[in-house]
Amino acid sequence: MQLDLSIFSAKARPLLGLDISSSAVKMVEMTVAGKDGYRVERYAIEVLPKDAVSDGNVVNMEGVVDCIKRAWKKMSTSTRNVAMALPASAVITKKIIVPAGLREEELEVQVESEANQYIPFSIDEVNLDFQVIGPAPSVPDEIEVMIAASKKERVQDRVAVAEAAGLNAVIVDVESLAALAAFELIEKQLPEGGRNQIVALIDAGSSVMNVTMLRNGQQLYTREQAFGGGQLTQDIMRHYGMSFEEAESAKRAGNLPEGYETELQIPFMENLALEISRALQFFFTSTQYNQVDHIVLAGGCAVMPGIDEIVATRTQVNTVFANPFANMTLSDRIRAKSLAADSSALMVACGLALRRFDPS
């Protein structure tokens, strides 16, 4: 089986994490610092033109390429290899159980035959990859394998955007898996390292809110809700007569007129807290669980000051910001305060940048 482009395995170093979300391009570069430590070398966030990316698809290629070029220039790096990600909706992932001890070629054959059951396209139309997770739970002599498949054109679209910007896509991951890689760093910051506790990872982006319930690193439940920071941007546009780009930039820079906070921002944050509360109720009614120990806020919406307190008050659950960089050292070119403010929006980019350190 020939993989045109790996969804899992790291092939090159050094590497930039490049996240193309629906509202911005985000880049992160990290290096090793000491034993089991990382150092953030540089990062950049560039706002995309309105609707340049829609439902995970690149609609305005020229606009996205220009944005990537600006972000890369801002990074002042010579690294051109990037790890990118597809939205979860563009990738079919499935855990399968196979006999332990198979040779690589035998494993590939087994994965391909299993994949045929789950993929509603011809195997020739997809990029297929797999990763051995480890021994199968409670089944001796078998292993658990994650398979991931995406239509070739979805992968090629992402690669073409990087190449048009003068970069080289060496890894195509899945956004949800990249965010979980970054979440592992956050979980260690929770009381008792989050062990045996249920954590709600709420990634509230521009147009959707992804809800992932985790316990000991295992996903218990996922849900996507149509709610995001784009609604606040629309409110700003209407209220102040701004263009999309002006509203988005002003929102990120925090330089809106007096009255913005009480008239627009706080009502929006109250609505976000209500959506999160609803998400928890959906989780309780559709699983055997009836409590959540921590809420971790990620995504562009999480950068709003005070959102953690509003969510905690509404849900009565301990709420913290996602900061995968909290225990990392920073290069001289990074301002700690700026990175702390942007960290929750950089989850996917951080997870992608971590792919640099995967064992080959």
| Residue 106, domain member (yes or no) | no
Stated as kind and residue range, the H or E segment containing 32 is strand 24-32
State residue 90's pLDDT score: 85
| Residue 11, domain member (yes or no) | no
Does 84 lie in the same domain as 53? Answer: yes
State residue 333's pLDDT score: 94
Does 162 lie in the same domain as 307? Answer: no
Does 287 lie in the same domain as 252? Answer: yes
Whether 170 contacts 179, CB under 8 Å: no
Whether 209 contacts 120, CB under 8 Å: no
Does 242 lie in the same domain as 200? Answer: yes
Does 48 lie in the same domain as 68? Answer: yes
Whether 121 contacts 151, CB under 8 Å: yes
Could you list the residue range(s) of the whole structural domain that residue 332 is in? 16-89+152-181+328-357
Count Cβ atoms below 10 Å from residue 116 Cβ, excluding itself.
Answer: 11
Provide the β-strand partners of residue 47. 24
Ordered mean pLDDT values, 10 residues apiece, the chain (360 residues): 44 82 93 87 93 86 95 95 90 86 87 83 83 81 86 89 95 89 92 94 90 89 90 94 89 87 95 96 95 94 91 96 94 93 93 83
Count Cβ atoms below 10 Å from residue 38 Cβ, excluding itself.
Answer: 21
State residue 248's pLDDT score: 86
| Residue 9, domain member (yes or no) | no
- How far is residue 123 CA from its own chain's centroid? 27
Closest CA to 154 of 77, 72, 101, 91: 91
Stated as kind and residue range, the H or E segment containing 279 is helix 266-286
Count Cβ atoms below 10 Å from residue 231 Cβ, excluding itself.
Answer: 16
C-alpha to C-alpha distance for 289 and 213, rounded to whole angstroms: 10
Does 166 lie in the same domain as 37? Answer: yes
- Token pair belonging to 149: 């498949």
Does 265 lie in the same domain as 349? Answer: no
| Residue 158, domain member (yes or no) | yes
Q: What is the domain count for the chain?
A: 2
Does 282 lie in the same domain as 301? Answer: yes
State residue 359's pLDDT score: 62
